[in-house]
Structure formats: structure tokens, C-alpha cells
Structure 1
Amino acid sequence: MRKKISLLLIGLLCMTAVTGCSMSDDASANTEQDHVIRIGYQKNGPLIILKSLGTLEERLDSLGYTVEWKEFQAGPALVEALNAGSIDFGRTGNSPVIFAQAAGTPFVIVAAGKSKFAGSGILVPKDSDIKTVADLKNKTVSFAKGSSSHYLIAKALENSSLQYTDITPAFLTPGDARIAFEQGDVDAMVVWDPYTASTELFSNASLLVNGEGITTDRDFFITNDQFAENHADLIDVVMEEIKNSSDWSNNNHEELVAMLAPILNIEEEAIKKAVERRIYGVDPISEEIIQEQQEIADTFYRLNIIPKKINVADVMQEQSK
């Protein structure tokens, strides 16, 4: 009996030790995770510049944090990752956040990028009989579904007294759209820089209209609700470094072109054209920006592109002046 009791006590002690080690390992893992900020980025965006410069890592290292970068091909996928909890912070265009809010995704918009309307537009072949937006009636037009280009074409048609149903949409990524455009499978394509610039320069294309008077085509910096609540100080640090990297970009075009060309695998001439017609930077959320976004949401709802009416101010952190 004593032997059995002794064996039982030894067994319990071993189980306690194993459990203790497991809890210790879990606690260690949780502590490590608490000191990592996971950032979602796209190759064509201000966060790739920040990542390439490496300044955020230096800043956060002094605070005891590390950065984990996760690349996404498109804004909708990035927002979904935010919803799933696999990233804490990211940047996307003006339309993916509208679709995400309409789908009930919990997130907060903490800041906006500068307008980049000059590099977003509708492209047609140089020898096309399409001379105005009104000429797009009954034509096939390519654009990425749920992207900033989705809104640009919808609003451009509306401004020209056409219906969204007056065109045949071809939902294509910029790369696939370029191929379809060059092969004559679509009559026009709607896209953003540097794809706009590359198509203008190397695919015998003309810019029918850019975004002026149609859309500001801003970037938006987003985070999930919980991270915004628990790590406002970290978000401030990230935004400060985004501003710093934007200033660097505006003042170092030659170095910026050399940085981006191999990352994007796009001609340096196209990158140069793209960076020279935009200003990098960050704007605080203002009533004007809220109104811009509300117009996008209302347009998509009116066209039955999103399922319900939304109030964009619900996810935007307006900052005092």
C-alpha cells in the first residue's frame, strides 16, 4: 500500500511539473506575442516603403517590440486577415474598408493617406473610338472588384449620366487586366499607379480621365478594435514612422524609384512617373474625409454593390484640429 501511495504521489508531482512547464511555456509564448505587432502590407503602398527603410524596427526595438510583416495581394484579403486576428494593423484603399464595414468586420480607421487621384484613372487604347466616359456605354471595362477602381468607374459613369449597368464589368486584378487590355479583350481598364503609368508608357494606352473631380483615392490605415483599445501608444509610433517615411519618399524620388522597381517588378520609368504625380503623407481623420468616404458608401449602396446602408463615421477616429 505504501508503495502504491508513493508511486501515486510521484505521478502527481510529475504531472504538476509538466503542467507547470506547459503553463510557463504558454505564458512565455503569450508574453512574446504581446510584444509583436503584426502589420499587413501590399507591395504597392506606403507600408512597403516603411518596411524597406527599416526605421520602424529600430524605433520599436527600443521599446521592446518587434515587427512581423505579412504581405497581401489585395486590400479585401488584408481586411479579412484583420478580422480573423492574424494581423493587428494594415493599410488599404478607400473601397475595401466600405465592403468590410458593410460585412460587419470590427475595425477602426486611424488615419488617411494623401489624395492620389492623379495616378488613378480609366485607360483606353490610343486608337480607340472612346473619347469620353459617355462612350463607355455598352463597352467591357476591367477593374478589380471591391477596389478603389470599382468606385472610380461607378462614380465616373454616374457623373456622365450613365448607369453602372450600361457597361459590362470584367473583374480582373491589375496584372490580368493588363493582359486583357493588350489583347483587346476589354475596351477599357480602370486601375491605379504604378500600373496606370506602366500601361500608359508601354501598352499604347491613353488616360481617358484620372480621378480628379471623381475620387480622392486615399489610403486608409486600419487596426482591429482590440488593438486600438490596448495599444494606442504603439499605433502612434507606427503612424509617426509612416509620416517620416513619407517625408523621405517625397524628398528622395531617385532613391525611391530604385527601391520600388525591383519590388514591384515594374519599369523604373513607370515608377518614376507614378511617384512624381503623388504626394506621400498622412492626414488625420476629418469631417471632410468622413464625407468623402460616406459618398463612396452611399454610391455602392445605391447601386446594390453593398447590401446595406452604413455610417462610415462609426469606424473612423476623427481627430481634433
Structure 2
Amino acid sequence: MKRRHLLRSGAASAGLLALPGLLRAAEAPKELRLDYAYYSPASLVLRRFGWLEEDFGRDGTAVKWVLSAGSNRALEYLNSGSIDIGSSAGLAALLAKANGNPIRTPYIFSRPEWTALVVRRDSPIRSLADLKGKKVAATKGTDPYLFLLRALKVAQLKRGDIEHVALQHADGRVALEQGRVDAWAGLDPLMAASELDAGSRLIYRHVAFNTYGFLNVREDFQQRHPEALRRVIAGYERARKWIIGNTTEAAKILSEEAKVSLQVALLQLKLRTDLSNPQPSAEHVDALRAAAPILLDEQLVKPGTDLPRTITALVDTQFARGLLGSTG
């Protein structure tokens, strides 16, 4: 009896030891679909080195990368279910969430100054007030567009005081440099390239109007595959720390992927990208609360939308807690 009991106990213990591995294999998705974007350097590093492919390959999970040309594209892909995890600006994510996009944000990939209002080198425009009656390019549903709306309020201008030209970021840069629009709400690295390569000028900058880089996940993916999400965040952490320790090498990757000069990539990474705080926290919640009124003022969400509640539902301050290390 005693021997049989010991054998049963031993078998049970072995089963418990094997359980985490079995759960990991059972929980792993058949395919992991996520985006990469030139405004998210960590995604470029992850894709270049194949760290997620190496990790998930052990479970037979295929990794599929999709290029996001802007927050609007990343959020469209998430809303349609084309990707599971995607990168966007914080305020753009809030706008999407308020309008029904089923996403949460468990990780912050950067604190950037990636947008400003840009004019040509020879433009007579010198201030926000000079934008009245002018054509301004901006990509709807993105931080640059929302930055533009907030900047106009600073100058006591309304959206109707300018002629908004809806163009994707790259097309906005071309339109500005060709003189087809008077100003452009830019996005790095395209904005930095226009500065350094074409002499374009930034007429209005406001770091606090640049909302954070949010790594968003579809709610259903987070619920079904929490361990897979943790492993993706671990990959982003590996990339974040690698960039901090190898900024020039990371800039080379950005330069090659985005097809911009190394000087442009270094401007974006060294001077306009802060990678110090990846844990979603009160800092990010407060930033969205400060920015949220523009969504109601400009009727970008339904009247009466409870934006504070939406922010709480979007920013997941607990999921990654304990997973994230220091920048050292």
C-alpha cells in the first residue's frame, strides 16, 4: 500500500512539474500576427533579429508581420482581426476604443516626440495663427491629426479655419515638399527626413501633445492567449534594452527599413524617443485624460461618451507588472 501510494504521489508530482509546459504548448496560438512600424523602433529590431520566431517556433507557432503605415492602419487591422497585436499612438488608440475597437494596452513601446507642424523651408508661415485659411495635410485617426486639432485650439482656431487635406503620412510629406499643401502634421522618421533632406521647418512643437506609443492587443487574444502575450512583451523588453545599449546599431536598422539616412534615424532615436518607462501607469492614464476632451470637442466620438471609463478599459496597468525590468 505504501509503495503504491508513493508511486501515485510521484506520478502526480511529475504531472504537476510537466503541467506548465503542457499548458504553454496548449495555449500557444497556431499563428501570431503583429505589426511593425517605422515609428516603433522596437518592432523593427524584433523583426530583424527574429527573436519571436525563435521563441514561438518551439511551439510550432508561425509569426506573421504586417507593416503599419500609421496608427490608423494598425488600428484598422486590429479592429478587423487581421492582426492580434499592433502599435499606435495613445490618443489614437483611445479614439478607436471609444468607437468600438476591442483593444487593450498592456505595454508602452516609447515616449516619443514624433509629430509637429511642418512647413517648407521658404514658407512665409511662422506661427499657428498663420495657418488660418491654409491647406494642412494630416492622416485622420493618428497622433499627428489629433496634434493638429489640439494645436489649433492653442491658437484659438477651429478645424474649419483651415483646409484639412486627408493624406497618409508619406503622401503628406510629398505634398508639402511639392507645394500642394501649406503645412503638414508630420510623423517621424518622415518628418526628420523632411527636415534634414529638404530643409523643412517645424513651426509648432509640443512634447505633451505627442501621446505615447501604445502596444495594443485584441481583447479576445489577451483572454485566450495570455502567456503568448507575455512572451511578446518579453520580446519587446529585449528589444527595448538592446536599443538603449546599441542606439547607433538600432538607428542603422531603422535607416535600412524606413529607407532614410542614418542621420535621420539618429535624430528620431537619440533626440525624440524616450524608452525609459514601458509599464502602463497613472502617467499614461493622466496623459490621455488631458488629451481626451479634443475627441468630444471635435465630435470624433458620440456625444456623451464616457471617456474616463474608456481610458480605464483601455490602459491595462496590471498585466505586465512584474514582467518588466529596468533600463539597465
Instruction: Return the TM-score normalized by structure 2.
Output: 0.80
1:287 to partner: Cα distance: 2.1
Q: Distance in 2 between matches of 1:81 and 1:139?
A: 32
1:55 corresponds in structure 2 to 51
- Contact 2:143/2:210 (CA < 8 Å) preserved in 1? no
Q: CA offset at residue 208 of structure 1?
A: 1.2
Q: Deviations over 1:17-47 (max 9, x none)?
A: xxxxxxxxxxxxxx89833322123244231
> Which residue of structure 1 aligns with residue 110 of structure 2?
114
- 1:261 counterpart (234, 239, 255): 255
Structure 1 gaps of 5+ residues are 1-30
What per-residue deviation string (whole Å, max 9, x for no partner) do you get for residues 161-193 of structure 1? 222222211111222112211122211111121
Cα distance between partner residues in 1 of 2:80 and 2:28: 16
Give the CA deviation at 1:304: 1.4
Larger radius of gyration: 1
CA deviations on 1:45-96 (whole Å, 9 max, x unpaired) are 2312211121222233345544222223332232232233232212112243
Shift of 1:147: 0.8
1:60-209 paired onto structure 2 within 5 Å: 60-62=56-58, 65-117=61-113, 119-209=114-204
Does structure 1 retain, via aligned residues, the 8 Å contact 2:77–2:83?
yes
Q: Is the 8 A contact 2:118 2:185 kept in 1?
A: yes
The answer as to whether partners of 1:44 and 1:264 remain within 8 angstroms in 2 is no
Gaps of 5+ in 2: 1-25, 323-328
RMSD: 2.3
Quick check: 1:37–1:65 contact (8 Å CA) kept in 2?
yes
Q: Distance in 2 between matches of 1:216 and 1:93?
A: 8
Q: Distance in 2 between matches of 1:73 and 1:212?
A: 22
Closer/same/farther in 2, CA of residues 289 and 143 from structure 1, 3 Å limit? same
What is the distance in 2 between the residues matched to 1:128 and 1:263?
31
Secondary structure of the equivalent of 1:301?
A: helix
Task: Tell me the alpha carbon deviations over residues 127-160 of structure 1, each in whole angstroms, 9 at most, x when there is no partner.
Answer: 3222222222222111111110011111111122
Query: What is aligned with 2:290?
Result: 295
Q: State how far apart, in whole Å, the 2-side matches of 1:251 and 1:183 are.
A: 39
Residues 94 and 314, structure 2, Cα contact 8 Å, conserved in 1 = no
Q: What is the rounded CA distance, in whole Å, between the counterparts of 2:81 and 2:167 in structure 1?
A: 27
The 8 Å contact of residues 132 and 208 in structure 1, kept in 2 or not, is answered as yes
What does residue 211 of structure 1 align with?
Answer: 206
CA contact (8 A) 2:135 2:181 kept: yes
Aligned match of 1:221: 215
In the aligned structure 1, how far is the partner of 2:148 from the partner of 2:173?
Answer: 17
SS at match of 2:207: coil
Q: Hey, what's the Cα distance between the residues in 2 that align with 1:273 and 1:72?
A: 21
Per the TM alignment, residue 276 of structure 1 is displaced from its structure 2 partner at its CA by 1.4
Question: Per the alignment, in what secondary structure is the counterpart of residue 140 of structure 2?
Answer: coil
Cα pair distance change 1:70/1:281, threshold 3 Å: farther
Instruction: Output one character per residue of 1:271-297: Cα deviation in whole Å (capped at 9) or x when no partner.
Output: 122111122355222223112223333
- CA separation of 1:43 and 1:193: change in aligned 2, threshold 3 A: closer
The answer (yes or no) to whether the contact 1:261–1:271 under 8 Å persists in 2 is yes
Does 1:318 find its partner at 2:309? Answer: no
Match in the other structure for 2:10? none
Q: Secondary structure at the match of 1:243?
A: helix
Q: Percent identity?
A: 24
Q: Is the Cα contact below 8 Å between 2:90 and 2:213 reproduced in 1?
A: yes
CA distance in 1, matches of 2:182, 2:64: 41
For 2:76 and 2:122, the matched residues in 1 are separated by: 40
**Secondary structure of 1:86's partner?**
coil
Could you tell me whether the CA contact under 8 Å between 2:137 and 2:185 is conserved in 1? yes
When normalised by structure 1's length, the TM-score is 0.82
